[in-house]
Structure 1
Amino acid sequence: MFSHDSHIYTLHERPKLIESTSSHGSNFVSLIITVPRVSAPLVCHCRNCGRSGGGSSINYVLPEADVTIKDPHSSLKAYEDTNTVSGNRIQRKFCSNYGSPGLTGGPSLIVMASLFDVISRLDIEVFTDQSQKWEGPAEGAKQAY
């Protein structure tokens, strides 16, 4: 489980960053993931995200260079997902100690927003054609495919 009590805001050379720590208890830290504070996550309703995160997934899509991952215990594991709508192979990464999904790699890194305490208002919803019938559109978010 990603610990929300370890969530901190820091200042570096870049604008404000968000940091999340995956830990179990207070003595063991598996992963530290730091991303720029971004203002517009998207929600993905594709079946793959739904199966890995409970119906849909709220994500930050970032250039790989903007994401810092500290993995002192080599906890971050990946599997290759070949069953995608686009046909592209992507790597889905997770904490092997706790099973928490965290990142998806493709041309950009997709970071699960649920890793962080504060999630900005949604900007866009993708794969809306695959959303659950009971889900309505997010207020103010653009709808895509």
Structure 2
Amino acid sequence: MPNPLTGDPKSHDVSEFKDSITGHCLCGSITVTIRDPTLFDGRHGHICHCANCRKVSGSFAAPNLAIEKDKVTIEDKNRTLKVYEDYETMSGNVVRRAFCSNCGSPVRSETPMYDGQGKLVIKMGMFPRIPTPEFETFADHRHPWQGKHEGVTQFKIARGGPTL
């Protein structure tokens, strides 16, 4: 496990991740590697403010990355990866939310919206550095005290819908 004093993302230059980036759950049982040399070129990923993502992340928002499945390797050395089927979604479609059953860290989500595209959503909190987000979803559900992220498109609810 990494030293807790080394958790500052600014201590990792993005050049460290020119080919891939690896992160893990809190207990280290699950390791996720993203192979995408463009991950830190421009904006990638999004911040979601929906109630379900807030609950899963344990925070006021969740940093997510929708990415092609073939660019991601998930290693589950202790077989602790479990899936919760979330039916309490705005669309009514199930979101399969995977997490470590030992430490509770969120790992990925799979949604029918991306099934046909061969994508999944990686929960970015487990990585040493997170790319600058491209957009926010459910921005209408932000807390009044949250500041605006410069250059990040805010969709009131879903991506592609009305913006703030």
Same fold (TM over 0.5): yes
How far 1:3 moved relative to its partner?
8.0
Aligned partners of 1:129 and 1:36: how far apart in 2?
Answer: 32
Q: Secondary structure at the match of 1:92?
A: strand
Question: Could you tell me the percent identity over the aligned residues?
Answer: 31
What secondary structure does 1:138 align onto?
coil
The answer as to 2:108 corresponding to 1:103 is yes
Structure 1 residue ranges, 4+ long, deviating more than 4 angstroms after superposition: 1-5
Cα 1:87–1:60, aligned 2, differ >3 Å: closer, same or farther? same
Give the structure-2-normalised TM-score.
Answer: 0.73
Instruction: Return the alpha-carbon distance in structure 2 between the equivalents of residues 46 and 2 of structure 1.
Output: 31
Q: Is the 8 A contact 1:2 1:22 kept in 2?
A: no
5+ residue gaps, structure 2, are: 7-11, 157-164
State the alpha-carbon separation in 1 of the partners of residues 46 and 99 from structure 2.
Answer: 20
Alignment match, 1:139:
150
> How do 1:1-145 and structure 2 match up within 5 A?
16-22=19-25, 24=27, 29-37=28-36, 38-39=39-40, 40-53=44-57, 54-106=59-111, 107=114, 108-145=119-156
Instruction: Please say if residues 43 and 58 of structure 1, whose CA atoms lie closer than 8 Å, have aligned partners that are also in contact.
Output: yes
8 A contact 2:26–2:105 mirrored in 1: no
Residue 104 of structure 1: CA displacement? 0.8
Instruction: Report the CA distance between 1:102 and its aligned residue.
Output: 1.4
Contact persistence 1:2–1:23 (CA under 8 A)? no
CA distance in 2, matches of 1:70, 1:110: 16
Q: Provide TM-score, normalisation by structure 1.
A: 0.82
Name the structure where helix makes up a greater proportion of residues.
2
Sort the Cα spacing of 1:42 and 1:81 in 2 relative to 1 into closer, same or farther, 3 A: same
CA contact (8 A) 1:58 1:112 kept: yes
Instruction: Give the whole-Å Cα distance in 2 for the aligned partners of 1:2 and 1:84.
Output: 35
Give the gaps of 5 or more residues in structure 1: none
